[in-house]
Amino acid sequence: MLSLAFKFTLITALPALALAFARRSRHIDQSSSARKCSIVANLLVPDVSKTIEWYTRVLGCEVGFTVDTNHGFTIGQVREGTVFGTVKLGEAELMLQTAASLNQDLPLVFSPNSLPAFSGTLYVRGVDPEEVLPRLDQASIVKPPTQAWYGMYEMYVRDPNGYVLCLGVPKGEAP
């Protein structure tokens, strides 16, 4: 049974919890003299479960952990009512959180009804577009696989929330 203090911390600091989980599970090595840093995007999504399903099915991500509306914490699985979750692909990680949950963390920034918004793309290096192509519906493809002048073979896709990802692998000559 989770304590009331833990439940409060869990719902108000989910991104910090993701960092703590990564440390505990040895994803972040604090023993070296040079601290490793990473930037992990936390995307607002209307349906965390649906989004996790897409990232695992299409990109081959693994579920890190999820938190549901009752503050239930689950590693490697999605529960009904999930409001926060992480997916991992190799050493990369992506956090996904509902507007209502983000509103509890940052009420001056997010309303409970905020919609996904992002003015860029997420670049996913190491995912071969040819391997992903059969798992995509035509509407998800923003730009088909293309050989870029800088030596990357890339494809742009749209996730179920409208976020655009570029999937790319080194192929061909780089400048």
pLDDT, average across residues 125-141: 96
Query: How many other C-beta atoms can be found within 10 angstroms of the C-beta atom of residue 18?
Result: 22
pLDDT digits (tens, 9 = 90+) for 63-83: 999 999 988 999 999 988 999
Q: Which CATH class is domain 117-175?
A: alpha beta
Judge if 1-28+38-108 and 117-175 fold alike in CATH terms. yes
User: Above 60 in pLDDT, residue 19?
Assistant: no
For residue 65, the model assigns a pLDDT of: 97
CATH 3.10.180 assigned to 1-28+38-108: yes
10 by DSSP, 3-state: which? helix
Considering the entire predicted model, what is its pTM?
A: 0.79
pLDDT digits (tens, 9 = 90+) for 27-45: 555 555 567 888 999 999 9
Quote the radius of gyration of the chain (alpha carbons, Å).
17
Q: Which two tokens stand for residue 71?
A: 């503050």
For residue 70, the model assigns a pLDDT of: 87
Q: Which two tokens stand for residue 2?
A: 């989770």
Q: Which two tokens stand for residue 22?
A: 């990564």
Give the domain ranges of the chain.
1-28+38-108, 117-175
For residue 18, the model assigns a pLDDT of: 53
Say if CB 56 and CB 70 are below 8 A apart.
Answer: no
User: Above 70 in pLDDT, residue 26?
Assistant: no
User: Above 70 in pLDDT, residue 160?
Assistant: yes
Query: How many other C-beta atoms can be found within 10 angstroms of the C-beta atom of residue 144?
Result: 12
**What residues are paired with 66 via a beta bridge?**
74, 85
Q: Which two tokens stand for residue 132?
A: 């992903």
User: Above 90 in pLDDT, residue 107?
Assistant: yes
How far is the C-alpha of 42 from the C-alpha of 94, rounded, in Å? 6
Mean pLDDT of the chain: 86
Neighbour-count burial of 81, counting CB atoms closer than 10 A to its CB (0-12 exposed, 13-18 middle, 19+ buried):
middle
Say if CB 74 and CB 64 are below 8 A apart.
Answer: no
User: Above 60 in pLDDT, residue 5?
Assistant: no
pLDDT, average across residues 71-96: 95
Using pLDDT thresholds of 50, 70 and 90, give the confidence band for residue 11.
very low
Residues 6+ apart with CB under 8 A from 127: 59, 60, 89, 167, 168, 169
